[in-house]
Amino acid sequence: MVPGGGLEPPQCLHRRILSPLRLPIPPSRLEEGANYACEGAAAQDPARASGKIRRPCGSSTVRLSDFDYLLPPHCIAQTPAADRAASRMLVLEQHGFGDRHVRDLPAYLRPGDLLVFNDTRVLHARLFGLKASGGKVEILIERLLGEHEALAQIRASHSPRPGSRIEVENAFDVEVLERSGEFYRLRCDRQTSFLARIEAHGRLPLPPYIERAAEAADEARYQTVYARAPGSVAAPTAGLHFDADLLAAVAAAGVASAWVTLHVGAGTFQPVRVENLDEHHMHREHYVVPAATRDAIAAARTRGGRVVAVGTTSLRCLEAAAQNSTDPTLPQAGSGETELFIVPGYQFRVVDALLTNFHLPKSTLLMLVSAFAGTERIRAAYAHAMAAGYRFFSYGDAMLIPARAERAGNR
């Protein structure tokens, strides 16, 4: 059972779209002896092993409450480490845990390995505005839809109607075209692109558990140093630990690098609201796997190297792209949309090792790392991290899972 005190949502953030009230907190304790009985189910179910079904396996035994733990509020990092690579790194070693720093990562890599990074860039996706009636609204861009339209969440005392207009940041107007569920489709005029407008007038959308407004320093620190493709509302946080010196050290160790793009949506912060995980509808995200990255993975396989995903977004992108690939061990090059929901029992195809941060209770990301490292192993790792003073979530520390082959027997 994981130790610690409860996590209470900060009152000052209740009115934000990315409010802690919409996150899976305050958490309750893990149930004694709970486990994921569907480990290994892929071997018994050919459809599941093939990756053709997107539902989580073992719905009768894999429960939302299995992914709960108590997190003391002081464990949540509110600011980044002074230096990116100075963040701590918990290594899941074969017979215990190693307390290291991210700058030590090259020592855990082998010549011939391949690191795969997500090069998405975080948008200035949070905006404020006024309806024609004078009512205040908050807008969170979910994704851009072409040059002049966007999908967004809107918070207002009264929901805006299709056909109405909103003045945004005293700078430009948008028209509400339609509403679909919790999202609105918005259109700006054709004089300037939607991307240019939000980058000029929007604000960086820090995660809801960071109890402060974005500051000037966050403009650099909440982006990876290699961010290229604008489109996310949250950073691929494992990549935040890399600086130019660490990237150079990785290359000097004989380790290759490749890039994918997966644009992280606001759904990454949304709680799973159903106990039976078969009933959960995973949010959809856009991804791109370049042909050069597929070729780099094939080359790593040939030379006996591991594919090391930097972050759960890189992992999910690669595994999603492998679902319809002619070679089940390689992602298919190209772009697409994924709703892949990875829980224990999933049979990984592409990724051999994972560098990741520590994740929210009851989150789909915690389910993913539990699938990769084994349920009990992750529980023990999180308990160790809290006892050792590791920092959690986006600006927190990292965890290295060196290889799936070293996880045999971990539940």
Q: What is the pLDDT of residue 270?
A: 79
Domain assignment present for 161? yes
In the structure, what pLDDT confidence band is assigned to residue 2 with cuts at 50, 70 and 90? very low
Could you give the CA distance from residue 99 to residue 4 in angstroms, rounded to a whole number? 20
Nearest to 232 by CA among 193, 285, 298: 285
% of residues, the chain, pLDDT over 90: 77
Range of the domain at 186: 126-201
User: pLDDT per residue over 58-67, tens digit each?
Assistant: 334 689 999 9
Could you give the CA distance from residue 251 to residue 245 in angstroms, rounded to a whole number? 10
pLDDT of 4 over the 50 cut: no
Nearest to 151 by CA among 132, 190, 178, 129: 178
- The amino acid occupying position 41 is A
Domain assignment present for 2? no
Last residue within a domain, chosen from 143, 173, 201: 201
Q: Does residue 78 sit in the same domain as residue 130?
A: no
Q: Does residue 197 sit in the same domain as residue 55?
A: no
Q: Does residue 184 sit in the same domain as residue 322?
A: no
Domain assignment present for 215? no
Q: What is the pLDDT of residue 268?
A: 75
User: pLDDT per residue over 31-46, tens digit each?
Assistant: 333 332 233 333 333 3
Could you give the CA distance from residue 203 to residue 206 in angstroms, rounded to a whole number? 9
User: pLDDT per residue over 87-120, tens digit each?
Assistant: 999 999 988 999 999 999 999 999 999 999 999 9
CATH of the domain at 179: 2.40.10
Total of domains in the chain: 2
Q: What is the pLDDT of residue 405?
A: 36
Domain assignment present for 389? yes
What are the tokens at 403? Answer: 């290889």
Domain assignment present for 213? no
Q: Does residue 30 sit in the same domain as residue 112?
A: yes
pLDDT of 410 over the 80 cut: no
Q: Does residue 173 sit in the same domain as residue 225?
A: no
CB 354 within 8 A of CB 382: no
In the structure, what pLDDT confidence band is assigned to residue 211 with cuts at 50, 70 and 90? very high
Q: Does residue 256 sit in the same domain as residue 385?
A: yes
- 4: phi > 0 → left, psi -120 to 50 → alpha, else beta; which? left
Could you give the CA distance from residue 188 to residue 49 in angstroms, rounded to a whole number? 45
Q: Considering just the CA atoms, what is the radius of gyration of the chain in Å?
A: 21
User: pLDDT per residue over 308-361, tens digit each?
Assistant: 999 999 999 999 999 989 998 999 999 999 999 999 989 999 999 999 999 999
CB 354 within 8 A of CB 369: yes
Could you give the CA distance from residue 408 to residue 224 in angstroms, rounded to a whole number? 33
Last residue within a domain, chosen from 201, 231, 250: 201
CB 222 within 8 A of CB 214: yes
The Cα-based distances of 133 to 129, 156, 159, 168 in angstroms read: 11, 12, 12, 14
User: pLDDT per residue over 260-296, tens digit each?
Assistant: 999 999 877 778 999 999 899 888 999 999 999 999 9
Nearest to 211 by CA among 5, 23, 3, 14: 14
Q: Does residue 134 sit in the same domain as residue 236?
A: no
Helix, strand, coil: what percent of the chain each, to 5?
30, 25, 45
Phi/psi at 12 (5° precision):
-70, -15
Q: Does residue 144 sit in the same domain as residue 282?
A: no
Tallying the residues shown for the chain, one arrives at 411
Q: Which helix (H) or strand (E) holds 47?
A: helix 46-50
Compute how many other C-beta atoms are within 10 angstroms of the C-beta atom of residue 326: 6
Domain assignment present for 105? yes
What are the tokens at 202? Answer: 């929007």
Q: Does residue 136 sit in the same domain as residue 98?
A: no
- The amino acid occupying position 189 is D
Last residue within a domain, chosen from 169, 201, 233: 201
Domain assignment present for 208? no
Secondary structure (DSSP) of 178-200: EEETTEEEEEE-TTS-HHHHHHH
Nearest to 392 by CA among 23, 12, 22: 23
Q: Does residue 170 sit in the same domain as residue 306?
A: no
In the structure, what pLDDT confidence band is assigned to residue 25 with cuts at 50, 70 and 90? very low
Q: Does residue 188 sit in the same domain as residue 270?
A: no
pLDDT of 184 over the 60 cut: yes
CATH of the domain at 85: 3.40.1780.10
Q: In b/e form, how buried is each residue of 342-359, taking b as 16+ CB within 10 angstroms?
A: bbbbbbbbbbbbbbbbbb
Q: Which residue has the tokens 């070679």?
A: 327
Q: Does residue 105 sit in the same domain as residue 144?
A: no
CB 149 within 8 A of CB 187: yes
